Amino acid sequence: MNAFPAAAVIRPEIAALAAYHVPDADGFLKLDAMENPFSLPPALQQELAQHLSQVALNRYPVPSYQQLKQLIADKLGVPAGRPVVLGNGSDELIAMMSVACARPGAKVLAPVPGFVMYAMSAKLAGLEFIGVPCHADLTLDVDAMLEAIQLHRPAITYLAYPNNPTGTLFDAVQMEQILRAVGDTGIVVVDEAYQPFAPATFMSRLDEFPNLAVMRTVSKLGLAGIRLGYMTGHPQLMQEFEKVRPPYNINVLSQAAAEFVLRHVEVLEAQAALLREQRSELASALSALPGVQVFPSSANFLLIRVANAEQVFAKLVQQKILVKNVGKMHNLLHDCLRVTVSSAQENASFLAAFAASLETT
């Protein structure tokens, strides 16, 4: 095939990027993507199958998604009267905000290490990304954040609550300081993707901070496969973000599946409660192993530090267990692995393999 001069038409900053890589997990115990390990009960699976069989695949979705938005508000704690904006996962919501705020010279700011899509979406939209390192214990360096806000006046400031990939639940008082420092010159997006596993939320505080937007997803709750994210905030802000939302961005099967499962949300909430219990048990078991540091987590994963993490990761792969090697993401994460909290059986399999890997490194 003849070469094509892609450099002549592709933006240089895009050509310099690497595509988002998802490793092949076929045949592996998959503990790298923070997925809920539990499926729906068989009876609900049958009901859902019947429900989906009646979806009109030949028709576009109803563009307002009003029924789905109302169910999200009713079942997932969005305050009454607050508009809901839907995305094909949180990734699309982040991209939408980046596009909407990409004025010349605009900047995006977030603590690092953090969710990679904050920086990626900023770059794709032509925004400058400013990463502010956390403390060595992975807590928020609020003084550095406030200094960066004063210097850069970011259009968007992201605060993941709790944070990915660390699991840290940032101090709420420090987050309030950031919200006040940003003021009306930008928006602060509190990303609550892991809210089902955390003890606190900013969703109820929208009235206090007009510049606050809260973003969530149903992925971690147990519906990762349907790719559905949502956000809310000041009506004027949400109205602007709606303008850049692709039409019909939530397909009819995702819409129908979400509406069905949200009517049975207590099943997902019970699964989240079980995973919170498993998180405590797994953290205790890992902490008992020699040379293993377990960081506090309010998410459905644990960040651990162990000497020779690269070798441990490789030995886990040999045993068909896939975790996330985050050591190269940021210098604060050196020798760190991130492992999804799963069922008791899968956690036990991981623990046995992990302990064996430690012994042979």
| Predicted local confidence at residue 12, as pLDDT | 85
Residue 46 lies in a domain: no
Are residues 69 and 32 part of one domain?
Answer: no
Domain edge (last residue) among 247, 264, 281: 264
Q: What is the pLDDT along the chain (361 residues), one digit of tens a residue?
A: 778 888 788 888 888 877 766 777 788 999 999 999 999 999 999 999 999 999 999 999 988 999 999 999 999 999 999 999 999 999 999 999 999 999 999 999 999 999 999 999 999 999 999 999 999 999 999 999 999 999 999 999 999 999 999 999 999 999 999 999 999 999 999 999 999 999 999 999 999 999 999 999 999 999 999 999 999 999 999 999 999 999 999 999 999 999 999 999 999 999 999 999 999 999 999 999 999 999 999 999 999 999 999 999 999 999 999 999 999 999 999 999 999 999 999 999 999 999 999 987 6
Dist CA 205 CA 188 (whole Å): 13
Are residues 193 and 70 part of one domain?
Answer: yes
| Predicted local confidence at residue 39, as pLDDT | 95
Residue 242 lies in a domain: yes
For residue 129, what are the domain limits?
56-264
Are residues 191 and 109 part of one domain?
Answer: yes
| Predicted local confidence at residue 6, as pLDDT | 80
| Predicted local confidence at residue 18, as pLDDT | 75
Residue 284 lies in a domain: yes
Are residues 60 and 34 part of one domain?
Answer: no
CA 283 to chain centre: 21
Sign of the Cα torsion 241, 244, 247, 250 reads negative
Are residues 339 and 217 part of one domain?
Answer: no
Residue 21 lies in a domain: yes
Are residues 273 and 337 part of one domain?
Answer: yes
CATH code for the domain in which residue 227 is found: 3.40.640.10
| Predicted local confidence at residue 11, as pLDDT | 83
Residue 152 lies in a domain: yes
Residue 294 lies in a domain: yes
Q: What is the pTM of this model?
A: 0.95
The tens digit of pLDDT for each residue in 172-207 reads: 999 999 999 999 999 999 999 999 999 999 999 999
Are residues 271 and 242 part of one domain?
Answer: no
Are residues 113 and 37 part of one domain?
Answer: no
Q: Are strands 229-233 and 212-217 parallel, antiparallel or unpaired?
A: antiparallel
Domain edge (last residue) among 264, 296, 311: 264
Are residues 63 and 27 part of one domain?
Answer: no
Dist CA 64 CA 83 (whole Å): 11
The tens digit of pLDDT for each residue in 79-112 reads: 999 999 999 999 999 999 999 999 999 999 999 9
The candidate with the shortest Cα–Cα distance to 139, out of 110, 170, 114, 173, is 170
Tally the domains of the chain. Answer: 2
Domain edge (last residue) among 231, 264, 297: 264
Are residues 170 and 91 part of one domain?
Answer: yes
Four-point Cα dihedral 211, 107, 200, 162, nearest 10: 170
Are residues 323 and 212 part of one domain?
Answer: no
CATH code for the domain in which residue 277 is found: 3.90.1150.10
